[in-house]
A and B are shown apart, each in its own frame.
Chain A
Amino acid sequence: MSKKVYLDYASTTYVSSEVLNEMLPCFNAVYGNSNSLHSYGREASSLVDRARDRIKNAIGAEKSNEIYFTSGGTEANNWAIKGIAHAYSEKGKHIIVSKIEHKSLLDACASLEEEGFEVSYLPVDKHGLVNMGELIHLIRKDTILVSIMAVNNEIGTIQNIKAIAKICHDYNVLFHTDASQAIGAIKINVKDMEIDAMTMTAHKIYGPKGVGALYLKDGIRIENLIYGGSQERGKRGGTVNVPSVVGFGRAVESANRDIMINQQKVRNVREYFLKNVNERIPYVTVNGHPIQKVNGILNLCFEMVDKESLLMLLDIEGVAVSAGSACTSNSTLQSHVLKAIGISDEFANSSIRFSFGKNTTKADLDFAIDALVKSVERLRSISALTKAGRK
């Protein structure tokens, strides 16, 4: 089989063997319904409790029952925004979110707007950081919730979450953050950072797909998501997906335990990649923050080259990358994130995201860079855009 290199870890990772090994017995050995009273059920329930504890410890939550399992980040985002908005609608109907949130959050906001809520979209600067002065300016008496993602999925910019949360609380507004890309990449402590609600997902940290969680600080109200069961304190009914929840618990614990070593590895990988790309390919720019960003995400603009054509040529060469978010990459829509940081449509249309994993090797990168050089040169040789006038 010809060599293939995966550089799309921000879309999803594989399941690590330590996670998989903990999950496997849950399929056919500990298979009880975690809600059942008998020994089979209690055994499964204890594994679910353990997973909840592991997540609680990793994010610095006070109680395990502040963790609600969901089917993933999209569900947690939808639930957080709509559930909190509905629960606090008597206080007000105004919400503030950044312009660079994940589609799952923006679309949930759009549905709230249809219900009569008002949503303000907070702009970001050219590096993707929200303007905190503007945030204060937007907060009103009827503002109930602010949601700003911890780490952007397309450009990797890290927001000043602690400071943002502080502002929200100064004005008596709840604060939610989507930490789907942050867990395992930056240290998160919900207590220290004063986070009221937080979205998490397993499949970006070597856990299984289809499982995530919403952290909700004790005392904060949320509308029930799914009726028909006592699971997740009656707020999200349905038989618990025990294997996935167990895998998620292990994934979060490992991600937290190995954060320093993995981040160093990924940082070295990114720097090696960028240095070689810069040496071998002209007219390349980096989108996003120069420093305040996660190590695993690198968004590059290859001038005069269309992102879809480049992505397809790289795929043919055996290199898997992404044109921004996997959730929107099948459409021809421009990235709302790159637009929000002020990148021209042409440059946004020439930008692709590379994301690296803890086991990405230099050999993988050399292979990917060779493919990239070849593909970019080929597309530029037939591009209708010319180098004239470009620096």
Chain B
Amino acid sequence: MSRLVQKSPSLCTDLPLNNSDVCNKLRLLKELLKSCYGPTGRLKQVHNNIGGHVVTTSTSSVLLPALSSSQPLVNLIRSCILNHVSRFSDCGLFAAILCLTLIEEAKLSGLRRNVSIKVNKHLLGMCSSYLQEEDCGCRVVLDFCSSMNLITLTRSVIYSKPACVLAEVEALHMSKLAVQAFLLTVPCNSPGTVRLGRIVTVGVEGHPVLNSAVLTGLLVEVHDHLSLRMIKSMQTNPLRVVLFSASLAGDLSDLGDGIIEAHTGVDTDSQILDQLLEFCKHVVEDEVKLFVCQKVLHPVLQQYLRNHGVIVIDRVGVALMEPLTLLTGAQPVATLHTTIPAKAYGTVRSLSVKEFGSKTMLHLQPAAESAVCTMVVCHRNETMLSELKAVCQQAEHVLRLTLKEPSALLGGGCTETHLAAFIRNKVRFFTSLILLVIYLFITVKNTVIPSQSLNEVSQTLTAVECSQSEYLLGVEGFCRSLESVAAALQHDGGNSLTDLTHAHHWTLPADVTTENMEESLTFCGCGLTRNSPNMKWTHLNTKYPQFSPAPALRDSTVQPHVLDSFTAKLNALQVAVETANLVLDVRYVIQDTN
């Protein structure tokens, strides 16, 4: 009998953003995430109340799942950002901070919610189209002829994760390895659609980071050391491989739903084992030298195969099966009774034993060109290692994204300040145009006004459906939010500045006074512009005369030091603004308390 319990009515919150408790929680979240942002960000330790594992991290992909809250709006933002991170692996903190700041700025501006939403949406469109323009001042086109930019891009990803505890040399080493591994997965001579290969990451604890390496082929962990001794004796090239995807533990194969009754004296186990041995005999006759099984292999079979000089690897798991088929060219076998066709066998060029710390591994070298490689990541302890492994995978993802869109954005906060200056300038241009039109209309009646710009102005205001002053307020909030994300990179009490020619982001250390400011500023955040005599600076979030931010001079000798993934950052920007708009649009919260 089912239990009947009366449903309790839901808990309702009217206008959640007017509630001070909700606002405090959002502010707390913002401050927490801000303090993690960037290469000098502070780390957070996450541990649960039942004495579980302690995680030290500053990455959004680890931090955000831990920050679940009873406040629905916080969870809404969290899940949106996490979805972005799971698709793009980068710029999660950027999106979260921007989103929370936009919400706060919209509240401060006192505009009607719908107006802020429309202005934000309009400015987002302006930003995305500017970023995709040919002459965008903060985009760098990646040159695949040199690995320089790729390494910079990867280094920015790795270096912005302080929980990895990497020295500068180590970060550079890891980024070089990541780029090398990425390049190995791109097949060289396959016509038609290119399918990228796989990077298998193996973590080794207790070794210095500089011992990390990238190897072609695969490293497979071997559970027994008996077969390793055999390897030294066999050097015949190439070796024949069979991959087995079903269990060979001697269990009964599936015959259907019926019942099997075994009478005494019938030994089904030995019948099955006999069949398996028969099968192995065929394999040995076919001169297979390496026998790989995804699941468990019966010990008797292992012994039999080993006696006939076959190296056995079992329990490799489903994750390694795909790289193994790619590497060896074998097709997995799952049938026992049919003869294995010749093309189902694969080959490896050579086998050798590699030792990394406590792990002994078998190194499989591909016979033909293959796009599978192994990245061995070493670090001093477990937490740092798991963070570094995650970061390497993120770097791989970011590099893959460059294949779709071969460009990157300037890092170090320069993109944000540049965009803010660009928007301010464009909007100021609009409003001055309106004034000009009115002036001309009053004074000289028959003047030709550039109709295209006029159209743009009127379209903007009708699309946004608000007055000019409301529009300007909304724009100011948006620009301030962008700049405050750039300023969040600074954690040591320094000041954030922006120059008045390129609108890049500069950091002034805390102990420097304003008089000798100019000597202490050498490079901007991304390293593309350097200090020059007639450069002027202003503090971020102060009023400055609007100007058209000039793209930095493209001098081939100066390369940016910090780059961000273009695809990831563009999507992060879009997700941040859309999520902020969504939160601003929520007027009513209903919580089902059953």
Instruction: Please indicate whether A and B come from the same complex rather than being unrelated chains.
Output: no
